[in-house]
Every structure is written in structure tokens, then in C-alpha cells.
Amino acid sequence: MLRLERRPEASHLMSYASPAIAILLMLIGGLFLFAFLGKNPIEGFKVFFINPISDLWGVSELLLKATPLMLIAVGLAIGFRANVWNIGAEGQLIVGGIAASAVALHFQESEGAHVLILMIIAGCIGGMLWAAIPAFLKTRFNTNEILVSLMLVYVAQLLVSWLVHGPMMDPDGFNFPQSAMFEDSALLPLVFDDGSRVNLAFVFAIGALLAGYVFMFRSFAGFQMQVAGFAKDAARYAGFSARRMIWIGLLAGGAMAGLAGMAEVSGPMGQITDQVSSGYGFAAIIVAFVARLNPVGIFFASLLMALLYLGGEQAQQYMNLPSSISLVFQGMLLLFLLGSDVFINYRLRWKREVAA
């Protein structure tokens, strides 16, 4: 009989191998999915995973899509390490995007770097404000931050919908639910001059990953948050403030999600619509988990998740499949990961029944 048996000590090897196993299982699951849908699995695999990055333009699109994921995931990871479950990054992204857009629309006539700088600040603050609500309610009333942050996603979506149908609507936009296009001074500069759309936000994302790494693994505050995540009572015993960690955790996630929102409106979109996010706030949760809450992992997991987005678009275009197929892949990936994580602390053993 095959059974699970606790390892004497957690396996470091498995904690890195487990994401690889999960990715492999996701790919296998994908092959079955394509086969089930009556498509050629090999062809499906090619369209989904190879074609999107078969040229330089594709790779640059990959970086573009990965940028908000990196930003949000590193912010979330800081909180997740302390078991602060901010799952409302999607809403924080939207509010960050709104705040940045407000700045952009306000300074429509002006030139100069101050517009962008103010937009960045506004984006971060917008996201932080939205995240401060669950933080305040959690520290003050012990309200569950999962549910509150999630409810605020729906509220943020309705908020942006109202704004682009009302106060922020482009007066010359034929009543389309979108703002006017931003001036050049409100657009993030591009990083490469080869026509790709990768912008300065990618540099921010790399910076955020580095800063996140230092915070998590070198700073005492990061250590405190990890202690709280592993053993709440030990953190209390040591005298680490739980309130402070809740605030840090949520505000870090909020600021990064807000920045990602700013980067979307000021980057590829160039305006605000009611489709500010393509589900980046939720996808980043998966990125953070697959990456083991580690910034190095987040870099790679973001690329993978971005590939799933691009693959979904390709599958829609060339295989006539709904683009929501990428959500299916995302969900599978996380579920497989959580399942295969069991082997970090357990191993499989063949155990004979007791002889009668």
C-alpha cells in the first residue's frame, strides 16, 4: 500500500522541485485539454506556448505583460509571508489606475517630468488607500482581510465603470466608456527603441524585485514577517507587532498594485477604460505562490504567467478557443502546485500490511 510518511525534516530540494512538477502537470493537463476539445495537442501546445515567443516582438510583449505581474506579486508576497492575505490587488490596481489617470487628465496641458512623477505617486497612494481599508478594519475590528479586500474589488470595478461613464469620460469620445487619450508627458517612456512596447515600468518592476529581496531576506522587518507567517505565537512571544505587519503587508501590496495600475494606464493603454486590468491582480496571487514568495521566483513565474496570457490570445486567434483558456491554465497550475507541495514535508513510502 502506498502511503504518505512525514519526513524528519522539510526537503529543500522538493520546495524548488515542486513548482517544476506543477508546471509539468499543467502542461500535461493542457495536452489532455486540447485533445478533449478535439484539437491536435501538439499543435495546441505550439500555438499556446511556443508561437507567442518565437520572435523578438513576442518576447517584448511577454515582458510587457509580465511587468504588472512582477510588481503586484512582489508586493503581495511581502504580506503573504506574514499570512496577511490581500487578495484584492485587482481592486487596488484599478484605484491606482484611477488616481494616476486623474493626475494625467488634470495636467493635460502641461509638459515636463512632474506629470509622470505625480502619476506614479498618485498610483501608489491610490492603491495604498484601497488596501488601507482592509488593514484598518483588520487591526481595529479584526475583520477578515480576505473577504474585505475581495469585496473592494467589485466596488473598484463599479467605481471605474461610473467614472468612465461620467466624470472621466472623453467629451469627444462619442459616449464610449473611456477617457481621453493621455498627452505624451503622461506616458511612460519606452525602454528599447526597436518599436517594442516595453516601458519604464519594467525597470521599476526589476527594482521592486531587488528591493523586495533585500527586505525579505536581509532586513529584520522581513524576518519578523516571516516569523509571523510561520508561527504567530512565536512572533507574539518575541514581541513583534502584529498590527504593524498587517499594515506593512497590505500597504506593500496596495502600493505595488497601484503602481501596476498606473503603469497600465500610462503605458500600453494610454487612457483609462473600465477594462483597466486583465485580471492581473488575481494572476499575481498565483505568481506569488508558484514563486514560493521569493522575488527570484517571481521573476520567472511572472514570465510564465504572461506566457499563459499571450498563449490564450493566440489560441483565440488561431484555434478559435475562448481566451479564458488562460484562466483555466492558471487555476490548474496553482492547484497542482499546492498539491505537489505535500512532498516538501512528506514522502511516499511503500508500506506492507502487517502479516497476520
Partner 1 sequence: MEGSILSSILFATIVAGTPLIIVALGQLIAEKSGVLNLGAEGMMSMGAIAGFAISFETGSVWLGVLGGMAAGALMSYLFAVVVLTLMGNQVATGLALSILGVGLSAFIGKPYESEILPTIEAIRIPLLADIPIIGEPLFAQQSLVYFSWALFGAIVWFLYRSRPGLVLRAVGESPSSAHSIGYPVIRIRYMATIFGGAMAGIGGAFLSVFYTPLWVEGMVAGRGWIAIALVVFATWRPFRVMVGAYLFGGVMVAQLFVQGSGLEINIPSQFLSSLPYLATIIVLVIISRDQNTVRLNAPVSLGQPYRPDA
Partner 2 sequence: MTSESGGSEALRLELQGITKIYPSVIANEDVSLSVKKGEIHAVLGENGAGKSTLMKMIYGVTRPDAGKMKWEGEVVHVENPAHARSLGIGMVFQHFSLFETLNVVENVALGLPGNPDLNQLAEQIVEVSNRYGLPVDPQRLVHALSVGERQRVEIVRCLLQNPKLLIMDEPTSVLTPQAVRKLFDTLRQLAEEGCSILYISHKLDEIQELCHVATVLRDGKVTGDCIPSEETPKSMASLMIGKELPVPEHNAPVELGEARLQLNRLNKKSDDPFGTDLQDIELEVRSGEILGIAGVSGNGQQELLYALSGEELVDDADSIVICGKASGRDNPDRRRVGGLGFVPEERLGRGAVPRMSLTENALLTAHHAGMLNHGMIKFDKIAEFARKCIAGFNVKCGGEEHAANSLSGGNLQKFIMGREILLAPKMLVVAQPTWGVDVGAAAFIRQELIDLRNQGTAILVISEELEELFEISDRIAVIANGRMSPAKNLADTNIDEIGLWMSGMWEQGAADGTEAQANA
Name the site residues for partner 2 (rule: CB under 8 A): 5-10, 218-221, 223, 226-227, 230-231, 233-234, 236-241, 354-356
CA distance 73 to 325: 22
Considering the complex, what minimum distance in angstroms separates the CB of residue 177 from partner 1? Answer: 11
Say which amino acid occupies 45: F
Q: Rg for the chain (alpha carbons), in Å?
A: 22
Query: Binding partner of residue 117 among partner 2, partner 1, none, CB under 5 to 8 Å per kind?
Result: none
Provide the angle, in degrees to the nearest 10, between the axes of the packed helices 280-290 and 56-80.
Answer: 80
Q: Between 192 and 230, whose beta carbon lies closer to partner 2?
A: 230
Query: Binding partner of residue 144 among partner 1, partner 2, none, CB under 5 to 8 Å per kind?
Result: partner 1
Binding stretches for partner 1 (CB under 8 A): 3, 6, 85, 87, 133, 137, 141-144, 146-148, 150-152, 154-155, 158-159, 161-162, 165-166, 282, 285-286, 289, 321-322, 324-328, 330-332, 334-335, 338-342, 345-346
Could you give the 3-state DSSP secondary structure of residue 273? strand
Considering the complex, what minimum distance in angstroms separates the CB of residue 355 from partner 1? Answer: 17
CA distance 22 to 339: 8
Considering the complex, what minimum distance in angstroms separates the CB of residue 302 from partner 1? Answer: 16
What one-character DSSP code corresponds to residue 300? Answer: H
Q: Between 234 and 338, whose beta carbon lies closer to partner 1?
A: 338
Neighbours of 356 (CB within 10 A): 3
Considering the complex, what minimum distance in angstroms separates the CB of residue 276 from partner 1? Answer: 15
| Residues 316 and 322: beta-carbon distance below 8 Å | yes
CA distance 10 to 91: 36
**Among 119, 126, 125, CA closest to 105:** 119
Query: Binding partner of residue 85 among partner 1, partner 2, none, CB under 5 to 8 Å per kind?
Result: partner 1
In degrees to the nearest 10, what's the CA dihedral of 239, 245, 246, 249?
Answer: -160
Q: How many residues does the chain have?
A: 356
Q: Between 115 and 257, whose beta carbon lies closer to partner 1?
A: 257
Considering the complex, what minimum distance in angstroms separates the CB of residue 212 from partner 1? Answer: 19
| Residues 224 and 237: beta-carbon distance below 8 Å | no
Q: Between 58 and 279, whose beta carbon lies closer to partner 1?
A: 279
Query: Binding partner of residue 114 among partner 2, partner 1, none, CB under 5 to 8 Å per kind?
Result: none
Query: Binding partner of residue 331 among partner 2, partner 1, none, CB under 5 to 8 Å per kind?
Result: partner 1
